[in-house]
Chains A and B, each alone.
Chain A
Amino acid sequence: MNLIRDIWQSIVRRDPLSTDKGKSELVFLNVWLHIHPAKVKKENMKFRHSFYLGFITFFLFLILLTTGIALMCYYRPYPPQAYQDMKDLQFAVFMGPFLRNMHRWAAHAMVVCVFLHMCRVFYTGSYKKPRQFNWVVGVVLLLLTLGLSFTGYLLPWDQLAYWAITVGSNIGSYAPIVGGQLRELLLGGHSVGEAALLRFYVLHVAVLPTAIILLTIVHFWRIRKDGGLSRPVWKLKPKQAPALVTIGAPPTVAPLVSIAASKDKTYGLMEVVTGKPIFETITPEEEEDTVFSYPYAFVREAVVLMATVTTIMMISLYFNAPLEQLANPAKTPNPAKAPWYFLGLQELVSHSALLGGVIAPALMVLALLLIPYLDSNPSRRPADRKWILWLFTFFVAVNLALIVIGTFFRGPGWAFVPPWVHVTAGVE
């Protein structure tokens, strides 16, 4: 039928997928897919290069968006009702527990995956020129993810939420001069209450997701503009200036086409310009290693997507998201603990509020942001960057150790209590 064919052709304008041109056009004529190159290097798709952690993180975010919007239909950000809505989700809403479980577990998983993704990028040295800025964007995305998780933590308005946020926001107030005011701005008052719940809700469902979506777009865009995924470390040649064949014009050779600049003309970037491209270019032998994104890259991404979704669904079928009793400002659980990813911080704070709660984390974030600019070693080969790898491993290990101590080894009064010693949880 002509009508159906016309409609189809008005939507899909590419050539048939059986042709190379069609495969290319599928990618670059499609607004969603054009973030991919038309062709990708085989080696870059290897699982052991990236572990697809960036994709997993992105897919988790998609799960969070969809389940989050569904949850918004059942939630009122007002103290007693918020908790009652949680109970309704648990007991009366069809598939409510499953929905909430998926959101909760995907959120925790996203924090973990963002962190692992950052580690992968560090260990493969992929933050080096020309990708420095994308690393910075990534660190900001990590912070936004923590912010999303932290703001979402309060919304159930149970004891767990209330006291974790109380402790968490207290840590922030240790900053000199501005700390107290920042905390007040965040909470809309001196303690966690109605105003804080509303502010956290607004941050959680509007401000932070928008920020994270915008920055994710930048992050993906920069991957393409910086030359795609970095080469796997095992493909790097030892200590040899890469023999680049720049398409069009190697620095030493005259450009293929040279047009005298005219004041009467404006030039767009789509025109032929001279100079070296900022991204890595590929050598002829590497060119032979490339395949079309369709279907090679897409099928891998689809597998990762389904693996992520099914894993979260399986977890959500069997493990229920925690929900404690209604938040009670008069009853402090002992110990009151921040969300797990801030327990390292809380552990530091327990030793020194200013040093552990402000200076150390501020330096940590600053160091993370500046890594690509401070690390002047141009080589990405692990053999050439031994000490910095050890340094980073040490940094990761210390952070994990602090979180483990804070989570499992701290009992009432923040006393050291191993997890195998049972202490009846005291409520003051």
Chain B
Amino acid sequence: MERRLQQVFFGLSILALVLILAAEWQASTPSWKTYQRNFLQLEAQGEPNAVAKAAVLATPPEIHQVMLTGLQRVDRCTTCHLGVDDPTMKNAPEPFRYHEGLGPHIASKFGCTICHGGQGLATDKESAHGNVAFWQTPLLDRDYIRASCGRCHKEGDVPGVPELAEGRHLFENQGCRGCHKLNGVGGSIGPDLSEEGASLRSPQWLEQHFLAPNAVSAGSAMPNFHFTRQQARSLTYYMLSLTNADMGTYYSSVRLIPSPQYGRELFVEKNCITCHSVGGVGAKTGLDLLGVTKRHSPEWLDEQLVNPQLVYPGSSMPEYDLETNARKALLAFMTTATPADAQAILAGRKAELKPEDVAIEAGKQDFARFGCVGCHGTELQGGVPNPNAQGGEVPSLLHVADDYTKDEVIAIIRNGKAPPLDNAAGPTPPLYMPSWKHVLSDEDINRVADYLWSKQQKKESW
């Protein structure tokens, strides 16, 4: 017995030693070392003589990493993808191939995962590519990779990615905000989309969901907007680009380069020409804007756009809730705007707008911007299915004046309303009127009501 026990002890000690060696072996033979060896052999082939070859091959294996404090990430992808910034590796096999067409976005400054997704800290293929449990952002499919441009380029046109601008445009004009919050503004019927790009949903799921909401998410309250494939793709791109992650000053600064072109679009969209003129061309209600950027400091102008009443008490200029970059873009346009521009803008307008129409136009823009059109339609026609609500669909707003006074409508917008039920015992209808008082200012709500009243069809006289 005693002898046997001593043998067992000896055996177990040997086993412990073997296990330690096994763990050591497991730790010292990671797959990235094999990749690095293969890469060195590939590199050595190009060397002219044996000495240089030997020198290349003698490079010790090490983990390469790009520390991106501004992006709050560390990318170790270049531990295996050793040729990404080496043009001589243009025809090398993966994972060593040179990454073409990066432009200024070199790996050593931007890393890889900010565009490609995946797990930057990982050093084995499976974990790094992110197709593992508990990693939310696996590598993006090739088809969707350009969506990542929108993570930093949050506004305006992104060269080479028209989908982003189109997706953003669709989002703002199809009334998505009526149900979905984005960066704090929007309804609460659907999920908050502020971090949709960092969620678990795959691009394919999103695209399918836009084409047929109920096909991938049974019982979804989201109406079918009958998007085309192209539109669904654009919206998917936009969704994938949405992330709340702080991009750091260096990376986010790209958003702050205002383009006069974007400013011009805003100038048209906000109907500035209805009140203002440029070098005498345009309306005379407001100031002439020619050379306005020379007369005032950028800070003064910015404040004027944010809060006109503060700068000019009694000013009739509305607040437009423009984002920082939009305001900068507008001012950039102002520095370059000429009477010829104003002429062209005036010529592009369908009908002459009167100043009193501007409030209604602003109401219409609010109606679109805050997502009312999502359910009530771009022409107030309603008709989005809402099972078990009276009439089975979201009501048209073309006849609200028949049933409500303006004050009642304003109260409904402010406080929200649950739709009357078709069948009292049935399920709660998925869609309802959210309360907007925390999102819209009273002024905005009044404008929306003005807009609604402007659209009321005249009662048919019997």
Contacts and interface: CB of A to CB of B under 8 A. Distances in A.
B12 A306 contact: yes
A324 B134 contact: yes
Greatest chain B CB density within 10 A among A84, A87, A96 is at A87
Nearest to B74: A84
A392 interface: no
A159 B134 contact: yes
A17 B27 CA distance: 42
A303 B22 CA distance: 21
B158 interface: no
Nearest to A316: B23
Nearest to A314: B19
A295 interface: yes
Interface in A265-309: 295-296, 299-300, 302-303, 306-307, 309
B188 interface: no
Contacts of B123: 91-92
B15 A88 contact: no
A307 B8 CA distance: 9
Contacts, number: 73
A159 B134 CA distance: 9
A367 interface: no
Contacts of B20: 313
A303 B5 contact: yes
A141 interface: no
Interface in B44-92: 63, 72, 74, 76
B28 A299 contact: no
B320 interface: no
Interface in A248-272: none
Interface size class of A (residues with CB under 8 A): 20 to 34
A313 B16 contact: yes
Contacts of B227: none
A217 B53 CA distance: 62
B178 to A, nearest CB: 22
B16 A95 contact: no
A43 B291 CA distance: 104
Chain B, interface residues (CB within 8 Å), range: 20 to 34
Given A313-B23, A323-B134, A302 B124 contact: no
B127 interface: yes
B220 interface: no
A325 B6 contact: no
B5 A299 contact: yes
A98 B23 contact: yes
Interface string B18-34: 01101110111000000
B297 to A, nearest CB: 39
A374 interface: no
B136 A307 contact: no
Contacts of A332: none
A310 B27 contact: no
Nearest to B12: A306
Nearest to B19: A313
Contacts of B28: 94
A7 interface: no
Nearest to A301: B9
Interface centre among A91, A159, A316, A324 (most CB of B within 10 A): A91
Contacts of A94: 27-28
A206 to B, nearest CB: 28
Contact of A87 (B16, B26, B121): B121
A317 interface: yes
Nearest to B122: A91
A366 to B, nearest CB: 40
Contacts of B27: 94-98
Contacts of A158: 134
B13 A306 contact: yes
21 contacts: A80-B72, A87-B121, A90-B122, A90-B127, A91-B76, A91-B123, A91-B127, A94-B27, A95-B23, A95-B24, A97-B27, A98-B23, A98-B26, A295-B2, A306-B15, A306-B16, A307-B12, A309-B16, A313-B20, A317-B19, A323-B134
User: Which 7 A-B residue pairs are closest in the complex by CB-CB distance?
Assistant: A306-B12, A87-B121, A313-B19, A324-B134, A95-B27, A91-B123, A98-B23
Interface of A: 80, 84, 87-88, 90-92, 94-98, 158-159, 295-296, 299-300, 302-303, 306-307, 309-310, 313-314, 316-317, 323-325, 427
